[in-house]
Chains A and B, each alone.
Chain A
Amino acid sequence: MLILTCPYCGVAADETELAPGGEAHLTRAGVESSDEDFEAYLFQRKNPKGVHFERWRHANGCGKWFHAARCTVTNEVFGTYPAQTLEPPKEILDEIVARRPGWTLETGP
């Protein structure tokens, strides 16, 4: 059972306090999008064996959505950050590279 620190209230929250929300940093495909783009937005999700950016909500706590960078193999947590961003912040990326030398956002694990 995971523990993630909510970046809003600072609580190291037990998984029972949290609700998962799937892959982070999706871009909403609007009414003008093609069938392919819209399908990708709705259904096509990354499923990496390694570093993953994901959405969580501190549902039984402060109620805020946040993002976590987590290794799906070892459950190692590289950091959490607020959801009001379009991409992972630099300090999170630096942390991942420090612990996973050679990792990049583009090439993945």
Chain B
Amino acid sequence: MSARRIDGGRLIDRTKPLRFTFNGRKMEGFQGDTLASALLANGQMLVGRSFKYHRPRGIVTAGPEEPNALVNLGKDKRFEPNARATTTELFDGLEARSQNHWPSLERDIGVLNDRFARFLPAGFYYKTFIHPRPFWKHVFEPFIRQSAGLGQAPRHRDGDTYEHVNVTVDVLVSGGGISGLAAALAAGKAGARVLLVEQSAHWGGRLDDAPDIDGQPAETWVAETVAALTNLENVTVKLRTTHSGVYDHGYCLAVERLTDHDPLGPGPRQRLWKVRAGRIVAATGAIERPLSFAGNDLPGVMLAAAVRDYLTGYGVAPGRRTVVVTNNDDGYRTAFALKDQGLEVPLILDARSDPGPVAEAARELGLKVAPGKGLAGVSGKGRVEKAAVAAIDGSGAVLDELACDCIAMAGGWSPAVHLWSHAGGKLHWDETDAMFVPDPDKPPLGADGKAMVRCVGAAAGELGAAEALETGWAAGLWAATETGHKPKRGAGPKAEPDEETPIAPVWVMPRGADPEKRAKMWLDYQNDVKVSDVELAQREGYESVEHTKRYTTLGMATDQGKLSNINGLAVLADARGEPIPAVGTTTFRPPYTPLTMGAIAGEARGDLFQPIRRTPMHEHHERMGAHWEPVGHWRRPYAFPRSGESVEEAVNREIVNTRQNVGLLDASTLGKILVKGPDAARFLDMLYTGMMSSLKPGRCRYGLMCSENGFLIDDGVVARIDEDTFLCHTTTGGADRIHAHMEEWLQTEWWDWQVHTLNITEAWAQIGVVGPKARDLLEALGGMDLSEEALPFMSWADGEIGGFKARIYRISFSGELSYEIAVDAGHGAALWEACLDAGESLGVMPYGTEALHVMRAEKGFIMIGDETDGTVIPQDLGLSWAISKKKDDYLGKRAQDRLFMTDPNRWKLVGLETLDGSVLPEGAYAVDDSKNANGQRETQGRVTSTYYSPSLKRGIAMGLVRHGPDRMGEVLTFPGVDGTETKARIVEPVFLKEAGA
């Protein structure tokens, strides 16, 4: 296949070749490959371009910390931008395209930015594009937006499905390396409910590094342990599942990739696990740090452990001739693995002057070690060709030059402390190992005030296998005990401890590098942040690590600084002349790796996005071709357009017909709350601004409800059923909210009052029969006496109509003669049809919410949510008549006496008639002659409702205007957004004077 594919490869199956394409080129890989390993096997080192300078970028890592190898994956309905090639499992037919280049990966025009790199330092955008101001919006921003950005946004609806699952466990173990396996085994054997998740497709982590465990090869121990865990009923193990975040009180999110690696497989693509965990064991390992030397962003410069992973895991040699540069013992493991495969290692550069036994071991293998040396820089055209050697403490004078095609850099390890930090765990700086480790004295706390997360193994800074097993096992016992289990005695798994020579931190290589070299040392590969940028930020006063991050964009790329942050803040610390812990870290926030929007949405999309409430007549409306309007969770007919009729025409027809003949309104969504008890009347007197206790049984009264702040929150008709029972109607959208409002006051303030409330909105279907022929229609149906004498305006009666047991209210929201007939919800559809039949000869037509709105506006009735917006009090709306002067108190009374509420300059309700009869734009403001400090016109009023009135054949509007009621006849000017103006005269808010109610 390729000269880069060598022997070995623990994770691949050479009997199963897979075909895939990269930028349209056909390539081959094996089952078990990642996209990155397969690309490397095909000699494809160049995989993308950097964000700012469009520099060529190669694969750097073998894990989720990858900053460079991001691809557009798939096409059409299965398209995902920014997919990390290093964690994307290869499958047959995979299609990948590289990102952030134009016109092609190899010939990219944006690389011009690189030539001008010295003119594009940190904060360049902030400094340059400020002036002249209009240029930002019209010149700079469009240009930057076009040339910025990584992957493409998907153009199609996601063709995959996703699901959510909720689980509660005693112990969540994150990470299936040897430490996590030991923890899961300890907790599982103790009887705790355990969920063990591993982000990759394999157990055991970086297995090739592990020594024998309990006397057997690590691979055997891992296989046996996984088998033992699988056999425990109280333990669930999941591969390809990333624990992405820890939240308050042990709430965790994990995403399981079910068919990402097998797109034709059955079932959903991904499953989001919502986990409540008693205790969390974070066995999340550590992430290797790059070294900062000049040219360290050239393709071919890779993390040492990644080079090793590709060799031993996938049988791929990233280079034939690899220079290893390290400051710790671990780098040697890569040199040994390369040597083992017969690949050339011309030199091991070790920053330490006395590397100790590991260097001896290397020399015994015939490898050349250069202690106290580092790289002066690497160079090459588009990829590594040459390495220059320098003394580590010097300024970079070149001692030697080596031809090579790969650099394996080992800069030490940073524990993956993300899960520890998400919910508030603190870190401390370990001077010996040069790493931030979890501070066991400052853990994230659970509801019980005790530690809820423990880090183990490399995540706790314990890089050795023996310590990983020991801390893992101990944490498993801890988590089981803390969640009420009693572990049996028994020894945990053991391995031989490994002695290593301590790391010698190197933040800039060589340590005395001049500014020119520092401007070529990359910290953040994706966002093009260099050592010189961080130093510049510090010089310009951005000394706080959070400020430096935002000024330079260090760590703001898709890898969120997994690779760059520690190096960056070490450089910042050096520039500030302070120790690293004094600088601290930026905040770790979930998710650990990006989640797809599909996984977050789960099943909640399309028809399942949210529940829809339907009235009993819904299907009938649908058959009539209703044009729907969402009102809260309800769907209400906006209008019932007939064939060939526009929605607007339908609305006008419905209004005219209702005013001339009779209309039917489905009013079932109106909120209905039963308030009952010896103290019900007293309670409603507190709740409404008007007096409800004086209402007689059999009668109805319009009421206003205010919050304790005085603002109007709802309105509706209250019917007194008997001495201690009231039925309170609320707005359609207000039923649940007002019921909750009632309960809040009953439960938390007047809990000794004997009142019971019940939201019975859905128990009734309610039909408004409205118009001059309303009574004729009901008489045609036949039944109870509905004459003026038997059922006067604002009264109600129980009885029978058309064979239906009904309660009929004589109330009106249109100004017309109007009855609202309430029946059991189950009879709603039958009554609706009976009304349509009975009214056929009278010209009955159903009408929708828009006709309802227009008709109420024609009569000057307010609508909650139009005339009110949470800042309006009843007094603003001319509703003082609905406020009782006799009551000592009601909710909002004291607030309405506050200075601001009694200010005579408050905007008040008026009607507005355009001079030319047109319809005022919604929400339009009336301007004043005066101007504010910014030279903008002051306003003196605004439109709250505006419609075309077919009854008056002109536009009508209601609005709030300063001193409005005292300015009848005055003309106001309403500028439109298009530069035109509309003039309107202030009038009384009742447009249609004659009343039929």
Interface residues of A (CB under 8 A from B): 1-3, 14-15, 19, 21, 28-31, 33, 35, 38, 42, 55, 57, 59, 63-65, 71, 74-77, 83-84, 99
Query: Is B120 an interface residue when CB atoms closer than 8 A count as contact?
Result: no
* Per-residue interface assignment for chain B, residues 197 to 229, with 1 indicating a CB less than 8 Å from any chain A CB and 0 otherwise: 000000000000000000000000000000000
- Closest Cβ of chain A: how far from B911's Cβ, in Å? 33
Chain A contacts of B249 at CB under 8 A? 1-3, 75
Closest B residue by C-beta to A85: B751
Closest A residue by C-beta to B253: A1
Interface pairs (19), CB distance under 8 Å: A2-B249, A3-B249, A3-B250, A21-B744, A21-B748, A28-B708, A28-B749, A31-B897, A33-B894, A38-B895, A42-B709, A57-B740, A75-B248, A75-B249, A76-B445, A76-B448, A77-B447, A83-B747, A84-B747
Chain B contacts of A65 at CB under 8 A? 743-744, 747-748
B740 touches A59 (CB 8 A): yes
Known: A30-B894, A57-B740, A59-B740. A35 touches B899 (CB 8 A): yes
Chain A contacts of B748 at CB under 8 A? 21, 55, 65, 83-84
Chain B contacts of A31 at CB under 8 A? 888-889, 893-894, 897
> B445, B709, B744: which contacts A57 (Cβ < 8 A)?
B744
Q: How far is the CA of A3 from the CA of B275 in the complex (A)?
A: 13
Closest A residue by C-beta to B751: A84
Chain A contacts of B709 at CB under 8 A? 42
Q: How far is the CA of A38 from the CA of B247 in the complex (A)?
A: 38
Chain A contacts of B424 at CB under 8 A? 74
Chain B contacts of A84 at CB under 8 A? 747-748, 751
A3 touches B449 (CB 8 A): no
Q: How far is the CA of A101 from the CA of B419 in the complex (A)?
A: 30
A38 touches B894 (CB 8 A): yes
Chain B contacts of A63 at CB under 8 A? 743
Chain B contacts of A74 at CB under 8 A? 424, 445, 449
B445 touches A38 (CB 8 A): no
* Per-residue interface assignment for chain B, residues 881 to 902, with 1 indicating a CB less than 8 Å from any chain A CB and 0 otherwise: 0000000110001110111000
Interface residues of B (CB under 8 A from A): 247-251, 276, 424, 445-449, 708-709, 740, 743-744, 747-749, 751, 888-889, 893-895, 897-899
Q: How far is the CA of A74 from the CA of B443 in the complex (A)?
A: 10
A30 touches B889 (CB 8 A): yes
> A3, A15, A35, A59: which contacts B898 (Cβ < 8 A)?
A35
Most buried by B among A2, A55, A75: A75
Known: A1-B247, A3-B249, A31-B888. A75 touches B445 (CB 8 A): yes
A1 touches B749 (CB 8 A): no
B276 touches A3 (CB 8 A): yes
Chain A contacts of B895 at CB under 8 A? 38, 42
Q: Which 8 residue pairs spanning A and B have beta carbons closest together?
A: A76-B449, A1-B251, A84-B751, A74-B445, A65-B747, A77-B447, A3-B249, A83-B748
Q: How far is the CA of A84 from the CA of B744 in the complex (A)?
A: 11
Q: How far is the CA of A1 from the CA of B897 in the complex (A)?
A: 40
- Closest Cβ of chain B: how far from A37's Cβ, in Å? 10
Q: How far is the CA of A83 from the CA of B751 in the complex (A)?
A: 9
Q: How far is the CA of A33 from the CA of B899 in the complex (A)?
A: 14
Closest A residue by C-beta to B251: A1
Most buried by B among A15, A33, A71, A74: A74
Most buried by A among B248, B748, B898: B748
Chain B contacts of A30 at CB under 8 A? 889, 894
Number of A-B contacts (CB under 8 A): 68
Chain B contacts of A57 at CB under 8 A? 740, 744
- Closest Cβ of chain B: how far from A85's Cβ, in Å? 9
Q: How far is the CA of A38 from the CA of B249 in the complex (A)?
A: 37
Chain B contacts of A77 at CB under 8 A? 447-448
Closest A residue by C-beta to B707: A42
Closest A residue by C-beta to B709: A42
- Closest Cβ of chain A: how far from B421's Cβ, in Å? 15
B447 touches A75 (CB 8 A): yes
Q: How far is the CA of A42 from the CA of B706 in the complex (A)?
A: 14
- Closest Cβ of chain A: how far from B449's Cβ, in Å? 4
Q: How far is the CA of A76 from the CA of B749 in the complex (A)?
A: 27
Q: How far is the CA of A3 from the CA of B168 in the complex (A)?
A: 12
B747 touches A3 (CB 8 A): no
Q: How far is the CA of A31 from the CA of B445 in the complex (A)?
A: 44
Most buried by B among A15, A63, A65, A71: A65
Chain A contacts of B251 at CB under 8 A? 1, 14
B447 touches A76 (CB 8 A): yes
Known: A57-B744, A74-B424, A84-B751. A1 touches B248 (CB 8 A): yes
Q: How far is the CA of A19 from the CA of B743 in the complex (A)?
A: 13
B740 touches A64 (CB 8 A): no
B744 touches A29 (CB 8 A): no
Q: How far is the CA of A1 from the CA of B245 in the complex (A)?
A: 12
B248 touches A2 (CB 8 A): yes
Known interface pairs A3-B250, A84-B747; 15 further A-B residue pairs with C-beta atoms within 8 A, sorted by A's residue number: A1-B247, A2-B248, A3-B249, A19-B740, A29-B894, A31-B893, A33-B894, A38-B895, A38-B898, A57-B744, A63-B743, A74-B449, A76-B445, A76-B447, A77-B448
Closest B residue by C-beta to A70: B447
Q: How far is the CA of A36 from the CA of B889 in the complex (A)?
A: 19
Closest B residue by C-beta to A1: B251
Q: How far is the CA of A65 from the CA of B898 in the complex (A)?
A: 29
Q: How far is the CA of A56 from the CA of B318 in the complex (A)?
A: 58
Chain B contacts of A42 at CB under 8 A? 708-709, 895
Q: How far is the CA of A63 from the CA of B448 in the complex (A)?
A: 25
Chain A contacts of B445 at CB under 8 A? 74-76
Closest B residue by C-beta to A84: B751
Most buried by A among B250, B447, B449, B743: B447
Closest A residue by C-beta to B890: A31
Chain B contacts of A35 at CB under 8 A? 898-899
Chain A contacts of B248 at CB under 8 A? 1-2, 15, 75
Closest A residue by C-beta to B891: A28
- Closest Cβ of chain A: how far from B26's Cβ, in Å? 48
Q: How far is the CA of A21 from the CA of B446 in the complex (A)?
A: 22
- Closest Cβ of chain B: how far from A99's Cβ, in Å? 6
Most buried by A among B744, B751, B888, B894: B894
Chain A contacts of B744 at CB under 8 A? 21, 57, 65
Q: How far is the CA of A71 from the CA of B744 in the complex (A)?
A: 24
Most buried by A among B247, B248, B709, B893: B248
A2 touches B743 (CB 8 A): no
Q: How far is the CA of A74 from the CA of B452 in the complex (A)?
A: 11
- Closest Cβ of chain B: how far from A38's Cβ, in Å? 6
Chain B contacts of A28 at CB under 8 A? 708, 749
Q: How far is the CA of A22 from the CA of B475 in the complex (A)?
A: 38
> A3, A21, A38: which contacts B447 (Cβ < 8 A)?
A3
Q: How far is the CA of A30 from the CA of B449 in the complex (A)?
A: 39
Chain B contacts of A2 at CB under 8 A? 248-249, 447
Q: How far is the CA of A64 from the CA of B743 in the complex (A)?
A: 8
Q: How far is the CA of A15 from the CA of B749 in the complex (A)?
A: 24
- Closest Cβ of chain B: how far from A45's Cβ, in Å? 14
Closest B residue by C-beta to A28: B749
- Closest Cβ of chain A: how far from B442's Cβ, in Å? 10
- Closest Cβ of chain B: how far from A43's Cβ, in Å? 9
Q: How far is the CA of A12 from the CA of B157 in the complex (A)?
A: 38
Closest B residue by C-beta to A76: B449
Chain B contacts of A76 at CB under 8 A? 445-449
Chain B contacts of A29 at CB under 8 A? 894
Known: A57-B740, A75-B248, A76-B449. A64 touches B888 (CB 8 A): no
- Closest Cβ of chain B: how far from A27's Cβ, in Å? 10
Q: How far is the CA of A38 from the CA of B889 in the complex (A)?
A: 14
Closest A residue by C-beta to B423: A75
Q: How far is the CA of A23 from the CA of B744 in the complex (A)?
A: 14
Chain B contacts of A64 at CB under 8 A? 747
Chain B contacts of A21 at CB under 8 A? 744, 748
B449 touches A99 (CB 8 A): yes
- Closest Cβ of chain B: how far from A18's Cβ, in Å? 12
Q: How far is the CA of A3 from the CA of B446 in the complex (A)?
A: 10
